[in-house]
A and B are shown apart, each in its own frame.
Chain A
């Protein structure tokens, strides 16, 4: 119906900022945090990362083939690589190979192509996959490796890493432990209070990322720098990250001031779990977030409230994945109610009153 080959109307000029370039910039922004995570958790993490990203690309190719469309040009847009990459960042670093494969399959097939491919999905594919994995395989998804950087004597060698990824971990307890948020949740159930629990907590090491956690989510400073760079590149807008982080911080501050023995400090909230990764790289996903600035503020604040509520009173220690998915499902509603005002009309779409009448 519309001739694409023959352009008639403007704009004849434009920014040549392709989808691929956007994806590449996001990858560049998460590269420091990723490299740090890969180094911090060694060979098993590198294996998992390669497997997850590789299988994401493979699943994308399979889906495109099933849809009988050209594979190469779509793969070149980089969206499958980014989805696999983001998913890998949120996985426990020493998870077995099949977690990566199943996760990528869930993300690309169920999270994206079932809806019709790029731009059509309701939920963030990486978060959908992560949450599905967490519910289906709770043991594998909550086994957190100790910090064991490459080239350290106590870290697994390449062959040991191979075994961890492909044959499962032997002698599990020696190499694993709880994340900060997980430990706090467990200790609370034993009626202990925060000052006791956090005796050994080092906020500096946590800020740098020297702690147990998901593959690429531990380093607050690197994620934050990547996010700020992405903002400055104008790839993402400030509304979602600022609303999200501010909401968590404000809620945390209020409750911390009321009872610092049972509620985490805002800084600890900011420094833990997936908060920064989600704020800058997951919640800002174009496809699954609202279209208007005001809508994005609502979306970000909603994510923030849910994260705080789940972390504080929920059964799970971390709620970022759930929060994002819940707000994703609210996005069409937000876009329906929060629209830009059309020139010459009021918010309800009625023409403005004429000054003469």
Chain B
């Protein structure tokens, strides 16, 4: 009875907002594949969660499209491949596609215009491969979660197999406004995505998949349903349109009724979740041996004259994408990588697109939320929209009072930065910014504490060592004196004997 009651209360959706979709401008056009090959590509060594890849090419080396440039390091990492053919001109620090634009290591590739693929042999029947082999190939292709989280996909497949996952959920929610890249891919590449889903199931040794699509994408739903029709294990689902429907834990609860315990991975409840774009990349990697060297992204916003969904080589500078889409820089008030809810503002366009870039937005001042913050009036809208069940207003208060530990008590670490609270706040308080600041500050504090502990430990061992040496010297000295006395005594006895 209790479990019935709790399953009822847990399966319902909680919180969330209904932002205006702004998807019409891009959702109705096919994916543009005519993007001109840039003269230079800037390929960061870290485009994923985990350790950065290690370069294995030298400056001046000539590479083909799809050739391995930097290999994966450690358990959680992903390799990086050449997005086109050409010559490596530099391996150095360049500004990262991040709000700070701090320099990170990148490989710079000067393209030769031939866009020549490395030769590879297609696999006749990938379902003959062992699941382990699928994981290995996906890992070697540099595939990471393309919804924006960029967790290495191979690691998830392996974890899925080891944890005996029963359900795979394919996230086709695309709940962020403005973005249509998943929508378009589901419409145009449905068969390939379904093939990718089957390969993922094979790689995880599971057989049940749900493809969850928000009900504001009826075309994508129909296309995916038609493509999935032949496979009994794959179900295409309509889910309500409501941000953040694509939050993995929300989706898991909605689709399976299971709730992931705090501090656990979704595999704990037998579920793994992947994005539709990741499924497509998996299909390409396994069937054709093509690594992840390009991605589909949406360029939109009020300052974009030709908004579109476009496939670009990884490492293309945002400036070139914006030039292709005719972005009016004078009207651009803010450049955003990702969606307008969770994306981050970038300082300029001289930054490369990466595996995480699901969208590039050039928003005008009218589209932005006002920034002039007013006092909190405790309207509690933030409490009612929070999908996690946090109280953003109380967390913001404790952070303002610099009581970071109290903020953690209130659940700071559970915040998913979905932006619902900032979106709804009538006082325009940048709540998510507060929370990110506090989290960063906590990490810095922990590092400082760790450092001081290390120093203390070193100091202690040095003191101990010095003491030991002093003790040793003292003992040696004593021994020497004792020996001397002994010697003299012996001498004396000898003398008396004589």
B127 at interface, CB cutoff 8 A: no
Task: Classify chain B: how many residues form its interface, as a range.
Answer: 35 or more
**Contact residues, A271-290 vs B (CB, 8 A):** 286-287, 290
- The size class of the interface chain A forms with chain B is 35 or more
* A343 / chain B contacts, CB cutoff of 8 Å: 14, 249, 259-260, 262, 387-389, 414
Chain A residues 338 to 357 lying within 8 A of chain B, measured CB to CB, are 339-345, 351-356
Question: Across the interface, do B422 and A10 meet the contact criterion of CB distance under 8 Å?
Answer: yes
Residues of A within 8 A of B126 (CB): none
Contact of A291 with B by CB under 8 A: yes
Q: Which residue of A lies closest to B164 (CB)?
A: A356
Residues of A1-58 at the interface with B, using a CB-CB cut-off of 8 Å, are: 1-2, 4-5, 7-19, 21-22
Flag the segment in B133-141, B309-317, B362-370 that touches A.
B362-370
Contacts A12-B340, A22-B379 given: A344-B263 contact, CB under 8 Å? yes
Cα distance A287–B375 in the bound complex, in angstroms: 11
Tell me if B19 and A352 are in contact (CB < 8 A).
no
Complex CA distance for A132 and B384, rounded to whole angstroms: 34
Interface presence of A292 (CB below 8 A): yes
Q: Is A118 an interface residue (CB 8 A)?
A: yes
Supplied contacts A13-B341, A19-B375, 14 more A-B pairs, CB within 8 Å: A2-B437, A8-B345, A9-B345, A9-B419, A10-B344, A14-B19, A118-B375, A290-B380, A340-B390, A342-B262, A342-B389, A351-B264, A352-B259, A354-B269
Contacts of A19 in B (CB 8 A): 374-375, 377, 426-427
Top 10 nearest A-B pairs (CB, nearest first) are: A14-B369, A11-B419, A344-B262, A10-B419, A11-B423, A351-B262, A340-B389, A291-B380, A352-B261, A14-B423
Chain A residue contacts of B374, Cβ below 8 A: 18-19, 77, 118
Asked if B424 CB lies within 8 Å of chain A CBs, one says yes
Q: How far is the CA of A342 from the CA of B390 in the complex (A)?
A: 6
Q: Is B324 an interface residue (CB 8 A)?
A: no
**Contacting pair A13 B19 (CB below 8 A):** yes
21 contacts between A and B (CB under 8 A): A5-B371, A7-B345, A8-B344, A9-B436, A12-B361, A13-B19, A14-B428, A19-B375, A19-B377, A119-B375, A291-B383, A292-B380, A342-B262, A342-B389, A343-B249, A343-B260, A344-B414, A352-B261, A354-B264, A354-B268, A355-B268
Output the least CB separation between A240 and chain B (Å).
11
- CB under 8 Å from chain B, chain A span 310-357: 339-345, 351-356
Partner of A12, one of B368, B384, B387, B436: B368
Contact indicator B369/A22 (Cβ below 8 Å)? no
Contact residue among A7, A10, A21 (Cβ-Cβ distance under 8 Å from B342) = A10
Residues of A within 8 A of B388 (CB): 342-343
Given contacts A2-B433, A339-B391, A342-B390, contact A293 B384 (CB under 8 A): yes
Q: Complex Cα distance A11/B421, Å?
A: 8
Distance of A11 Cα from B176 Cα, bound (Å): 10
Interface 1/0 per residue, B382-408 and A, CB below 8 Å:
011011111101100000001000000
Whether the pair B419, A354 counts as a contact (CB closer than 8 A) is no
CB proximity of A252 to chain B, nearest CB, Å? 30
Please give the distance in Å from A107's CB to the nearest CB on chain B: 16
* Cβ-based interface call for B240 (8 A): no
Q: Does B63 lie at the interface of the complex (its beta carbon under 8 Å from any beta carbon of A)?
A: no
Q: How far is the CA of A7 from the CA of B402 in the complex (A)?
A: 20
